[in-house]
């Protein structure tokens, strides 16, 4: 039991460190001058190369059946779409709006996980989801000028919930670095095809300015290759919902960093902060309520078994 508790604590700490790194990702999205698609193209290329070097150094096999690889490739495309919509939301609104809406990933995960993993729906998750909807309503009501950015960020949140749940189905069977390698590679190829077919490589392709390269390396290696592998690896112990729940602390780190770095452009109305606080309060309260309900159910089960 003690080993299990230590293992849970260790994985939660690892996940919180990754969440802090994720909080800086939106900052990088605003600092880098590239459009969203090109930024994610470079991000996935750098992450794919870094993961490939790591796998080669470790001599880790990435040979799986064609069916398994195709599933990972599909998830990689979802990841690419999530990042493109995420960075596009940052560009057309700001860091605070994007991260505030991204906290709704919990809501989408609570709906998607029972469907994909075939587990029963938990009423507590639905209640938390309704509270999150209330928080989003407040954000919409007071920051309607950013409606396109909010809708784009919510699309990104849905895609984040989708790929998190899908990755949960892989992690018990396959190596996390190999999963990330295939997903980064397929995302890079997918965006390459999009840029080719849309003619953006020849006509509108934007090259990075010198400072962009520094931020792209940080984004690709630290905020992507390292963070993505760890976020998948901890799912060996933690549920997809728990992972998403913790990742929803990303807005706290990101909004605070954005306010200190960008100042006035990140200053929002009181309604926005109330809505964000409602969402984050629901996120933080969930594990405590869930633990209490589990304990109550266990006590009731023990009493029932003792009577029989």
Separation between Cα atoms, residue 39 and residue 194, nearest integer Å: 13
Phi and psi at residue 111, in whole multiples of 5°? Answer: -85, -45
* Confidence at residue 212, expressed as pLDDT on a 0 to 100 scale: 93
* Confidence at residue 248, expressed as pLDDT on a 0 to 100 scale: 66
Nearest alpha carbon to residue 247 among 217, 280, 219, 216: 280
* Confidence at residue 72, expressed as pLDDT on a 0 to 100 scale: 94
In angstroms, what CA-CA distances link 70 with 186, 229, 252, 305? 9, 19, 36, 47
* Confidence at residue 206, expressed as pLDDT on a 0 to 100 scale: 75
- Residue 200 parent element (H or E): none
For residue 174, what is the DSSP state?
Answer: S
* Confidence at residue 5, expressed as pLDDT on a 0 to 100 scale: 59
Alpha helices of the chain — where are they, by DSSP H? 2-31, 36-58, 66-92, 95-102, 105-117, 123-142, 147-171, 176-197, 210-217, 227-233, 240-247, 250-262, 270-307
Q: What is the pLDDT along the chain (308 residues), one digit of tens a residue?
A: 544 657 777 888 888 888 888 888 888 988 999 999 999 999 999 999 999 998 898 888 888 999 999 999 999 999 999 999 999 999 998 888 888 888 788 778 888 888 887 777 777 877 887 887 788 777 777 667 888 998 999 999 999 999 988 988 887 788 888 998 999 999 999 999 999 888 877 767 778 888 999 999 999 899 888 887 887 788 777 876 677 667 767 777 787 788 778 766 656 677 777 887 887 788 777 777 777 777 777 777 777 676 65
Question: What is the residue extent of each domain of the chain?
Answer: 2-307
User: Residues near 197 by Cβ (< 8 Å), separated by ≥ 6?
Assistant: none
User: 3-class DSSP state for residue 62?
Assistant: coil
User: Residues near 234 by Cβ (< 8 Å), separated by ≥ 6?
Assistant: 11, 12, 14, 15, 243
């Amino acid at each position: 039991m003690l080993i299990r508790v230590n293992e849970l604590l260790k994985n939660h700490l690892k996940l919180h460190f990754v969440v802090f790194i994720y909080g800086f990702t939106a900052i990088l999205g605003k600092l880098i001058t590239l459009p969203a698609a090109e930024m994610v193209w470079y991000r996935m290329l750098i992450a794919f190369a870094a993961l490939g070097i790591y796998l080669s150094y470790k001599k880790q096999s990435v040979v799986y059946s064609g069916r398994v690889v195709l599933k990972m490739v599909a998830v990689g495309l979802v990841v690419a779409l999530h990042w493109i919509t995420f960075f596009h939301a940052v560009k057309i609104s700001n860091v605070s709006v994007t991260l505030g809406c991204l906290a709704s990933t919990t809501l989408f995960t609570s709906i998607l996980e029972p469907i994909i993993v075939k587990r029963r729906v938990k009423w507590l998750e639905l209640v938390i989801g309704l509270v999150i909807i209330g928080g989003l309503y407040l954000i919409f009501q007071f920051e309607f000028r950013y409606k396109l950015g909010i809708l784009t960020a919510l699309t990104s949140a849905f895609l984040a919930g989708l790929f998190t749940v899908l990755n949960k189905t892989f992690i018990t069977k396959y190596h996390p670095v190999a999963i990330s390698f295939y997903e980064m590679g397929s995302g890079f190829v997918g965006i390459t095809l999009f840029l080719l077919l849309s003619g953006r490589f020849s006509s509108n392709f934007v090259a990075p300015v010198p400072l962009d390269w520094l931020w792209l390396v940080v984004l690709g290696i630290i905020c992507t290759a390292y963070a993505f592998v760890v976020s998948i690896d901890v799912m060996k112990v933690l549920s997809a919902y728990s992972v998403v729940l913790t990742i929803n602390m990303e807005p706290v780190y990101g909004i605070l960093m954005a306010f200190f770095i960008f100042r006035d452009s990140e200053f929002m109305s009181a309604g926005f902060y109330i809505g964000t606080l409602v969402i984050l309060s629901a996120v933080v309260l969930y594990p405590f309520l869930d633990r209490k309900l589990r304990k109550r159910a266990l006590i009731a089960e023990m009493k029932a078994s003792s009577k029989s």
